Amino acid sequence: MISRRALTTSCLPPTIRQLLSSRTASDPVQVNGWVKSVRRQKKVAFAMISDGSSDKGLQAVFTKVDLAKPLTNGCSVRLTGKLADSPGKGQDKELQVDQVELLGECDPAEYPIQKQALSVEHLRDHCHLRARTDEITAMIRLRDLASRSLCRYFEDQGFCYVHTPITTSSDCEGAGEAFRIAPPPSPDLPSSENPAEFFGRPAYLTVSSQLHLEALANAISRVYTLSPCFRAERSQTNRHLAEFWMLEAEWAFTRDIDDVCTVLEGSLRHVLKQAGASGEPVWTAGERARLPQLQAYADSDTAWPRLTYAAAVAELEAFHAASPRTFDFAPAWGRPLQSEHERWLAEHLARGPLFVTDYPAHLKAFYMRQNDAPGRDPRTVACVDLLVPGLGELAGGSLREEREDRLRGAMVRFGLGEEEYGWYLDLRRYGGAPHGGFGLGFERLISWMSGVENVRECIPIPRWAGRMLL
């Protein structure tokens, strides 16, 4: 006989955030969390309890001082008591504790997350525990909010959220940064028969979902994904990770690079607005100070400025001629924009986000559409980089070359074989529509919004050259 029981829709106790937003009730409540600090006086003890759901945590008050005895920084507890209006400064409510259950002990002498300010390096060395700090908690919640609001924007624009493979046979950006995947040798086969390639051909971790998204956009019209990408980037900068997340959107029936700018700008304005207006605990006190600036970018009633690469280089050259000591690298047409140039353009020229379009083809990837309409410089491609103050490049996109003959020509110039990219040519051969899209570095977005300079602090568990702790 099977037994049936009443349907329960939720079995989870309320989080601290949920408790704090409820009216003060006289019924006893239970609070689960980790102890952030304990202060003991003669007749009363206080503990800050956090479960990561609210920026402040909850102050627990123990009038029976002995109840607080087992509490140490870092231990996990379940406290039962009454939620009451707090006479203390900086909090509306407090928990008057009647009962304490120690769930997990924590030796305060060994606990690496001490109350005093901890160095970034120390926290990187303990990245399995650093989510217990207010800064990392806020960042993780900002990632959550930013992903939800990006998804919302694309849903509203008629895009379909798709899932693309992480393993791939191609290096989309052609920068030689794709990690190769090596299968373990099969114990059942003699080594001479062990296939070197698990998939029957060389396989890599994806550097970008773009090429796969193009296949889907040429059937579903508007697609996007938010997924991890991997690049064997060896330089140690504050803008690069070996494993990072990218929001990539791709859509068909678009012919103008201005459309790519407009969709990208729309999605970012939406995220900035949502994050600025949200009461969610996604900002530390310092980060909140940035909100008026972010809000101004989101609310400005003119579109973010757009400038061609040629015009941007002319501006840089003029500035470089007048103040030759500002840049380490002299700007010139045909040379890549260095990050110092990108920042100058956004910070001094535009004083805000700036789209730079139409770069020389030789500086960009093989798939970008050649600018060969009358009046356009045929040495350039229809592409865009979005530059923002404090960071430089935040996103990049392009129209994709949909004309088979031009694409073949580009593949020859870039040394890409038809065997590998035959399927990509098929997308053009069989009703290929004009299309384009962009990729937005998700950690860079978080860095830009929060003002946290290094992207290593913009992802919960970072990986970079020489570092993978867990």
Ligand X SMILES: NC(=O)C[C@H](N)C(=O)O
Task: Identify the CA nearest to 67 among candidates 48, 44, 36.
Answer: 44
Round to whole Å and give the CA distance between 382 and 361: 9
The 140-179 contact track toward ligand X, x by CB under 6 A, reads --------------------------------xx------
Q: Which listed range, 120-128, 191-199, 232-240, 436-444, lies at the site for ligand X (CB under 6 A)?
A: 436-444
Alpha carbon distance, N-terminus to C-terminus of the chain: 46
Task: Identify the CA nearest to 242 among candidates 207, 195, 213, 283.
Answer: 207
Buried b (16+ CB within 10 A) or exposed e, 388-424: bbebbbbbbbbbbbbeeeebbebbeeeebeeeebeeb
Q: Is the dihedral of CA 452, 240, 259, 343 positive or negative?
A: positive
The 225-264 contact track toward ligand X, x by CB under 6 A, reads -----------------------x----------------
Query: For ligand X, how many residues bind (rule: CB under 6 A)?
Result: 10
- Residue among 397, 407, 443, 459 that touches ligand X (CB under 6 A): 397
Q: What 8-state DSSP symbol labels residue 362?
A: G
What's the closest the beta carbon of residue 350 comes to ligand X, in angstroms?
Answer: 21
The residue at minimum Cβ distance from ligand X is: 439
Residue ranges in 97-136 that form contacts with ligand X under rule CB under 6 A: none
Round to whole Å and give the CA distance between 271 and 268: 5
Residue 309 binds to ligand X (criterion: CB under 6 A): no
In the bound state with ligand X, the residue whose beta carbon lies nearer, of 225 and 308, is 225
In the bound state with ligand X, the residue whose beta carbon lies nearer, of 73 and 208, is 208
Round to whole Å and give the CA distance between 220 and 161: 10
In the bound state with ligand X, the residue whose beta carbon lies nearer, of 173 and 358, is 173
In the bound state with ligand X, the residue whose beta carbon lies nearer, of 173 and 280, is 173
Q: Which listed range, 41-49, 61-69, 406-414, 435-443, lies at the site for ligand X (CB under 6 A)?
A: 435-443
Residue 438 binds to ligand X (criterion: CB under 6 A): yes
What's the closest the beta carbon of residue 373 comes to ligand X, in angstroms?
Answer: 21
Q: Are the beta carbons of 73 and 35 closer than 8 angstroms?
A: yes
What's the closest the beta carbon of residue 330 comes to ligand X, in angstroms?
Answer: 25
Round to whole Å and give the CA distance between 100 and 67: 6
What's the closest the beta carbon of residue 102 comes to ligand X, in angstroms?
Answer: 49
Going by C-beta distance under 8 Å and a sequence separation of 6 or more, which residues neighbour residue 60? Answer: 31, 46, 47, 48, 49, 79, 81, 94, 95, 97
Task: Identify the CA nearest to 226 among candidates 148, 137, 141.
Answer: 148
| DSSP-assigned states of every residue in 209-245 | SHHHHHHHHHHHSEEEEEEEEE----S--TT--SEEE
What's the closest the beta carbon of residue 394 comes to ligand X, in angstroms?
Answer: 11
What's the closest the beta carbon of residue 346 comes to ligand X, in angstroms?
Answer: 18
Alpha carbon dihedral 69, 71, 77, 79, in 10-degree steps, equals 40
- Residue among 33, 392, 396, 462 that touches ligand X (CB under 6 A): 396
Round to whole Å and give the CA distance between 283 and 288: 6
In the bound state with ligand X, the residue whose beta carbon lies nearer, of 248 and 342, is 248
Residue 74 binds to ligand X (criterion: CB under 6 A): no
In the bound state with ligand X, the residue whose beta carbon lies nearer, of 45 and 263, is 263
What's the closest the beta carbon of residue 245 comes to ligand X, in angstroms?
Answer: 12
What's the closest the beta carbon of residue 214 comes to ligand X, in angstroms?
Answer: 9
- Residue among 206, 210, 267, 308 that touches ligand X (CB under 6 A): 210
Residues in the chain: 470
- Residue among 331, 360, 392, 439 that touches ligand X (CB under 6 A): 439
What's the closest the beta carbon of residue 399 comes to ligand X, in angstroms?
Answer: 10
What's the closest the beta carbon of residue 366 comes to ligand X, in angstroms?
Answer: 11
In the bound state with ligand X, the residue whose beta carbon lies nearer, of 138 and 205, is 205
Structure tokens given for 107: 């030796």
Q: Are the beta carbons of 2 and 11 closer than 8 angstroms?
A: no
Residues that bind ligand X (CB under 6 A): 172-173, 208, 210, 248, 396-397, 437-439
